[in-house]
Amino acid sequence: MTESPSAPVGFIGLGNMGAPMARRLLDWSGGLVVCDVRTEATLPFTEAGASRAADPAALAARARLISVTVIDDAQVIDVVTGPAGILNTAGPGTVIAVHSTISDRTAENLAAVCADRGVEFVDAPVSGGAAAATRGGLAVMVGGSDAALELVRGPFGRFSDLIVHAGPVGAGTRMKLARNLLHFVAFTAATEAQCLAEAAGLSITDLGKVVRHSDAVTGGPGSIMLRDTTAPIPSGDFWLPILTHVRNLGEKDLSLALALGERLDLPLPLAELALTRLADGLGVGRPLLDKEPS
């Protein structure tokens, strides 16, 4: 298959994420075919010129590049292999791109089933939320072949401004899981910070304003994710003094926060864990840096 701007694109799943992504494809020169179990979800698209398919199989009979944005593994499996699934009608060379966050094993298993039918499967989860989808600013993490990546670049470029080829099928999902691990651990840390602020008689709303303001400047946790490895940093490496400085500041501030929590009789288990793991996580653990020369 040679994908071109004249080929129709299909989009299955028009929920909170799928709808703004699909809207960015309404003016795709090859046309847009949409499908959702809720007929009312397709109406804004058909009114704007898109075509509607009754089910994934009907959509696959008309589109050769198909984006899927449904809720979970079970729905993805049904959309691809179910009684009215894509593989019932998909011709050889069809590309199925799943944007849902699913298990990497599910992605690999579906890729094998699709390959038996001459269909290319890509796991392509996204990051950035509905607001980024609306303005075309999503990040897409692609797991699939080099050839498949080139086929999806055009449509994906409508709703994203960062496309990362993570590796073979499954790698896109693994990258999304690592990204969301950071997201929700950070959310849990935010709840602990709020508890500390509240116990100290502070406004947690004002704290939130400070966090959003400073993270917009510093980049937040992503600002330290610049190295090629998590191994200990060797002497003479460019990053050694930078991340040593981060470690020193972090350990000082975590210790002060823990002391405040102790005075307020407030346990801070994540802060305690961070204090023990920060140095090694940054690659500048004290056994490496601070041992006396022999």
Helix (H) or strand (E) holding 163: strand 160-167
Inter-residue contact 133 to 109 (CB < 8 Å):
no
| Angstrom distance (rounded) from CA 75 to CA 96 | 14
As annotated, the active-site residues are 176
Dist. CA 133–CA 119, nearest whole Å? 27
H helices of the chain, where?
18-23, 39-47, 56-60, 73-81, 104-116, 129-135, 146-159, 171-199, 204-218, 239-263, 269-282, 286-289
Task: State how far the Cα of 135 lies from the Cα of 128, in Å rounded to an integer.
Answer: 11
Whole-number Å distance between alpha carbons of 222 and 263: 32
